[in-house]
Chain A
Amino acid sequence: MLVISRRSGESILIGDEIELQVMDISSSRVKIGIAAPRHLPILRKEIKLAAQQNQEASRSLSEEELKNLIRSLQTQR
């Protein structure tokens, strides 16, 4: 991973079309301004993570799998 230090107000360019600007820095947060072409989706990473996890969690279970799951949850608790 490329690591670059920037101060508040400074920018980074990615290619010709994307600019990331550090807008504000506090003790635990940075505010980042992003200028990019409309067609590029911009997403907080944790939302992507939650979406992928939900996709995986939405797999439907066979009756057998469900029965086994309940049995092991009940014996554990």
Chain B
Amino acid sequence: MPQTQTVQFGLLEYPEEAVIEFPYGVPAFESDTRFLVLHRPETAPIIFLQSLIHAGLCFLTLPVLSIDPNYRLNLHPEYLEALELPPDTRLEIGGEIACLAILTIPPVGPLTANLLAPVVIRTDIRRGVQAIQVDSGYSHQHPILPEPERSSCS
């Protein structure tokens, strides 16, 4: 099995099937074109997106539907093309379409999820994009845990 050195998990062995190609990387990290999707029982419900290009880059995510059960995808044709789908495809989350929201955990302030730009993955061909949903009305800083609850745990 291939191995990769990571900051978050140390040396990591992974099956090749766990690798997702991001043809354009993600905004601000355009050269990070290969990520591992990792979920572990001990860190549930978090799903990690570990870059295979930079050992130190690891996003924390949650399934979008666990944050907003009514979440709708309406992808711009350029993102559909990156996922090798026809330009008029209406995507439904579930089945071969996974949709993750990247979490931001600021040193102070509430935990937020980026619902404006979800990570959309076609699991059948293992391709992903971070798709900015222009005009969707979703926030890039959607609060998911009130701050008092977090600080009471420390």
Give residues in A with beta carbon < 8 Å to B: 28, 44, 46-47, 49-61, 64-66, 68-74, 76-77
Contact = CB atoms under 8 A, between A and B. Distances in A.
B7 to A, nearest CB: 6
What DSSP secondary structure best describes chain A's contact surface?
helix
What DSSP secondary structure best describes chain B's contact surface?
loop
Contacts of B60: 57, 61, 69
Contacts, number: 90
A47 B132 contact: yes
Contacts of A65: 105
A76 B67 CA distance: 11
Nearest to B136: A46
A47 B46 CA distance: 25
Contact of A53 (B57, B58, B102): B102
B20 interface: no
Interface string B54-93: 0011111010001000000000000000000000000000
A74 B46 CA distance: 10
A20 B154 CA distance: 52
A1 to B, nearest CB: 20
